[in-house]
Structure 1
Amino acid sequence: MAWLTRIVADEQVEYRLKEQAGCAVVEAGEGETVVLGDTGSPAVDYRLRLEGGAALVWMGSELEVLGLDEGIALDEEGKAAARRIMAGCHPATGARLVTSRTSVRAHEKAQLTTARLVEAIEQAAEEQGVTAAGLFDGKPKQLRVFQAQQRNVNRFGEAHRMQVVTLHKLARAAGLHLADAYDETADAEAEAAKAEATARELAARLDQQAATGRPTRGQQFAAEAGQILDQAETHLATAREHERTSAAAAGHAEERASQLSKLAESEGKSRLALRLAGTSLKEQRELTQRLTAERAAYWNLVADSWRDARQALDKAWETVRDSRIAQPLGAADQPVPDRADKAAERFLEMRSTASRHGHSMDKRDRDDVSRAARRAGKFRTLAASHRAQAAHARAEKVLRATIAERFPELHDREMTGRRTVQQEQAKRAVQHQQAAVAQPQPAQSRGQSRK
């Protein structure tokens, strides 16, 4: 069973952006607590051992949607992008990605204009045919707060502001939602301006790179990948040399073994036969000992060279696998090839992959400009729609006030009819809820519900 915990506090985000996040032992920085010396306990020493490869890396198949690359280690810029994502924003543009009312927490010191909520409460009271104080029936504390804010709005007008937390409590006490009390035009305009600024900045950066000849992000990635692969191929060349040495030594060892087999065929011959063959028993014995020693030496050289080749091959592969480009190149968590020629083929494929990945990064950068421009246009349209709705609401409010002043009887009948409709709607809603309770849906088993 796994437990998932929502990350809701900035401190939790910062904790997870540490290099070890409480799960590994890394080198301590200046001023941090360190453990020195042998503790005398193998279990404690094991858990206090330094662990390499503790860098944070991006993971997830949908990272490309946000313009990020899977497997890339997080530097300070990457950590800043992670903070923006946890705040519900795009890591590069900073544009708001989460629009749910309950998904984004307001900062505890954030403030809004009080006049909007006061107007919304007064309008809600008018629609319900009661006084504004009637919305706070049974809530004297919130009523006093509302009356105080009415006085502040009358005195200071639009300049008076309150913290969002207080406004939210006041709106909830009046039976309203805080988001319903505020015109979303300003937010849409701000998002549009932010998206336009992002588009300009990205376009300016790309234009400057083109004008000055500076490498693009994709070119920088390809260049870094090329340097890492060059370092890996240096170790690969050493591995190839050891493999050639091992192969040559194996040939010499086989040659000595063949000579020893021929000498073994002459065993048991008489001294006369050996003399006629131009040798002697003593020479045969000495030659056998020399060939045996040389064969053993060559086989030892084979083993040593093969071990050195494997070590060089491991270093070559680790150079790529432990780098920040391992995931895009497909080297992460991949086993070390058993021969240098296979590793050379993989490195050649990685060079091609690095070039394609660099091109895709540059394409995403160009696409980001288009996306930011489209986002800006979307929010400009949305802001215009909000302005039209707000103007319509203000005109309707003025019209209602005029009707109430010039035709009070008509206004009263309209308000009475409105309350009747609202009561009927509420009654039907209760009846639907009671019917749903009386006819519950067939219960599913736990196993089926999990599916």
Structure 2
Amino acid sequence: MGWATPIVAPEQVEYRLAEDCGCDQSSDAEVEYRLAATSDLRWIGSGLTELGLVAGEPVDPDAARALMDGRDWRTGEQLVKRKRELDPRGKVTARVVVDAITGLAAADGMTAAQYLGNEALASRFARAERGIVRDGEAHLLPVGDAGRLAAGAGLSVEQLYGGDVIAEANRWRNHRVDVGLRGVDLSLDLPKSISTAYALAGEELAAAIEGEWMASVTEAVGALEEWTAYGMAGHRGAGSARSGWPPPG
């Protein structure tokens, strides 16, 4: 069995570079001893050659950190531009200003777009409405956008949200945070029967078990590369895509 976990924070990378990441522990002292033995992380995957790395070789933690940050580990060149967005602390709940404008417009027998009387504001209002339909109360609006919408409807954003809320949001209105996907952690579960046999086996048998397990992992990763890997073209993938899915046959 296997599962995938998105990696977005540097702390997630550091956790996975730790030698004891995800290791099972047993109440049997002999099993614990074998499972606690030092085991180097190894590179795997067909794309390594393009980066001057060799599958099966021990992982250089600094190289791994660079790659997970989208940089060439040899030169430091930024290969993938990190996605950054406005800090959530620089945003306010969208529904507050949207409901206020909707109410004023309805009272005058108008749509919100007609009431705002500005194409750009109407467009931004419509985006906020769609966000609310999608996310409900969780949908946030940059404080600057909330202020422009409120002003366009003759409202005070401070009165709508409260002066303290707006002051705090304004502190963070120009601060951006990294929200890009660094990678995906693919976890493959080793059956307990095999892990226990490995822990209790002699050196020769343990090496054979490890070799077979790594061969199966390599085969699984190779299949996933063919079935699920894809490339996107255009701004944030808005263009064309070429994918290896579905698998052939």
Q: Return the TM-score normalized by structure 2.
A: 0.37
Structure with more of its chain in helix, by fraction: 1
Structure with more of its chain in strand, by fraction: 2
Q: Which structure has the greater CA radius of gyration? A: 1
Q: Return the TM-score normalized by structure 1.
A: 0.22
Larger relative contact order, structure 1 or 2 (CA cutoff 8 Å, min sep 6) = 2
